[in-house]
Each structure stands twice: as structure tokens, then as C-alpha cells.
């Protein structure tokens, strides 16, 4: 079943900057998809349309079978959590604790449950020692961790991560990826927006946007190898695959090496 269906969606800012043109996309329940594309290709715009923060010029979005419109937007938002590209845009509270609680409060969690979840999720992102701090007095990576904790704690059916790990250290990044694998196993539908191919290979499918259009959409394995598309959308070939191309160009073939390089590119 498709939990998100996007049909012929177009959007422009102030009627002049065409950010998305005729986007079609469906996401299956429990699937993890990555959205990639050059700066300004429309990734964040698409995510804001899905949660109803922006209103499409034409086309439609269905979430869990329900058309997104003014009447349904409230209910639909309860199903989707989004970690914004800039964590500052997510902070409303005076303390880190308030901020993690905010999303849960909107979903009317019991107070006792909120307290428990603040503990659980701040620990998951390694921010337990900072609960009483002001969110604005955190380092860049710490802000991202708090933003992630607040959204995870809401336990929504769908979670969108808009470059949510862009400022994390390598270990922090890896632990968030592990966590995404876990929630996916538990049935959550995940959309990650990223520029990092090493993150994208972990997902089931990859969608590539270019100048507001979907120019590629497919199984991760297929997209990884699509050198032309990657090149033309400011993306990169993973290093092991680059080596494979060099070997191919030199007409050197070795099945064992080829297999190892493929495994390495899949992070295995």
C-alpha cells in the first residue's frame, strides 16, 4: 500500500520561482526512500508540501489514502514528523527539554509519558546532560541532535529527515543511521533528504530531483550505477564504484574485485 502518493504536483514561490514541476512519486508503507538533488532542486519544498506547510499550485497529495487539503491537513500532520533542515526553525521552547516535549504535547501525549520519553530520546541522541540548557546555546551538531530527538519521540507513522545529519560528527551520523534502520524495521515510513551517497545507499529507493523535476526514481542499486544521471545532478559516484569504472575503462575484469567493490559501495 502507498502511504504517500504525489500526483502531478507543481509549486512556485511568489508566482515566479518555479520550485517543483509535475512531480509524481509514491512511497510504500514501511519503505525508506532518499531524496537527492542539487542545491535548490526542490527537496525541502517538496517536504513542506507533503506536511501541508506550503500549498501546491496544482496536483495532489494523498497521505494514507486521504487527500491533503485544508480540512485534512490537521489530521495528516499528526501522522508525519519532520526534522527541518535548519534546527533553529524547530525550536520554540526555553529549554532543550521543552523542545523535545513540544511535538508530543501537540499530539496530546500524557504528561507522564512525555517525561519518560524526554529521558529516553535525549539519551538516544546523547543529549541527556543538556536538558535544562537553552537550545540556542548549543553547538550546531547538538542542535541537530535535539531536533531529531523531538521528532523521534512523537512516534509518527512517517518521518522526514531534511538533511538532519549534515552537521553531525561521523559517529553521531552513524548512530542516527542505525536508529533509522531500527524504526524502519518497526514499520515506520522514512524519507531522508541528503547529499551524502553513503547515507542514501542504506535506503530502499532513491529519488533524484533536478530543477524541480523528478529525473530518476528507482531501486538504490540501479541508481548507484547511473553515472550520467548522478553527474548531471551534481551528485557523486561512490569511491568503490569509481574504481570499478576505472578498471572497466582499462578493460581489466576480475569478478572477485568487482564483487568486493560492489559490497563496499553498499557499505557492507
Ligand X SMILES: Nc1ncnc2c1ncn2[C@@H]1O[C@H](COP(=O)(O)OP(=O)(O)OP(=O)(O)O)[C@@H](O)[C@H]1O
Residue from 21, 25, 33, 45 binding ligand X (CB under 6 A): 45
Residues numbered 115 to 144 that lie near ligand X (CB under 6 A) are 137-142
Instruction: Name the DSSP class of 135.
Output: G
Rule CB under 6 A: is residue 15 a binding residue for ligand X? Answer: no
Rule CB under 6 A: is residue 6 a binding residue for ligand X? Answer: no
Residue from 3, 4, 9, 44 binding another protein (CB under 8 A): 44
Label residue 111 left, alpha or beta by phi (over 0 means left) and psi (-120 to 50 means alpha): alpha
Rule CB under 5 A: is residue 144 a binding residue for Mg ion? Answer: no
Grouping H, G, I as helix, E, B as strand and the rest as coil, residue 236 is coil
Rule CB under 6 A: is residue 165 a binding residue for ligand X? Answer: no
DSSP states of 165-226: TTTS-HHHHHHHHHHHHHHHHTT-EEEEE-S-HHHHTTSSEEEEEETTEEEEEEEHHHHHT-
Name every residue whose Cβ is closer than 8 Å to that of residue 67 and which is 6 or more positions away in sequence. Answer: 60, 61
Rule CB under 6 A: is residue 39 a binding residue for ligand X? Answer: yes
Site residues (vs Mg ion, CB under 5 A): 43-44, 85, 139-140
The binding site for another protein (CB under 8 A) comprises 13-14, 17, 37-40, 43-44, 85-86, 88, 132-134, 137-142, 145, 163, 166-173, 195, 197, 234-236, 239-240, 242-243, 246-247, 250, 252, 254, 256-257, 260, 264
Amino acid at each position: 500500500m502507498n502511504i504517500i502518493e504525489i500526483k502531478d504536483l507543481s509549486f512556485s514561490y511568489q508566482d515566479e520561482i518555479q520550485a517543483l514541476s509535475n512531480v509524481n512519486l509514491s512511497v510504500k508503507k514501511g519503505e525508506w526512500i532518499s531524496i537527492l538533488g542539487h542545491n535548490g532542486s526542490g527537496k525541502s519544498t517538496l517536504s513542506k508540501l507533503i506536511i501541508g506547510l506550503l500549498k501546491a499550485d496544482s496536483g495532489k497529495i494523498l497521505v494514507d489514502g486521504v487527500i491533503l487539503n485544508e480540512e485534512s491537513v490537521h489530521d495528516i500532520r499528526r501522522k508525519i514528523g519532520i526534522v527541518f533542515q535548519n534546527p533553529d526553525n524547530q525550536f520554540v521552547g526555553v529549554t532543550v527539554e521543552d523542545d523535545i516535549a513540544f511535538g508530543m504535547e501537540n499530539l496530546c501525549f500524557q504528561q507522564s509519558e512525555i517525561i519518560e520519553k524526554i529521558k529516553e530520546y535525549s539519551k538516544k541522541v546523547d543529549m541527556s546532560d543538556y536538558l535544562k540548557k537553552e537550545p540556542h546555546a548549543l553547538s550546531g551538531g547538538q542542535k541537530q541532535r535535539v531536533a531529531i530527538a523531538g521528532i523521534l519521540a512523537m512516534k509518527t507513522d512517517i518521518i522526514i529527515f531534511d538533511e538532519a545529519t549534515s552537521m553531525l560528527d561521523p559517529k553521531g551520523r552513524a548512530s542516527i543511521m542505525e536508529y533509522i534502520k531500527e524504526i524502519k524495521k518497526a514499520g515506520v515510513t522514512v524519507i531522508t533528504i541528503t547529499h551524502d551517497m553513503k547515507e542514501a545507499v542504506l535506503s530502499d529507493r532513491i529519488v533524484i530531483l533536478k530543477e524541480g523535476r523528478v529525473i530518476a526514481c528507482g531501486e538504490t542499486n540501479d541508481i548507484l550505477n547511473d553515472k550520467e544521471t548522478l553527474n548531471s545532478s551534481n551528485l557523486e559516484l561512490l569511491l568503490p564504484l569509481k574504481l570499478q569504472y576505472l578498471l572497466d575503462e582499462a578493460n581489466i575484469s576480475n569478478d572477485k574485485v568487482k564483487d568486493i567493490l560492489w559490497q563496499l559501495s553498499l557499505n557492507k
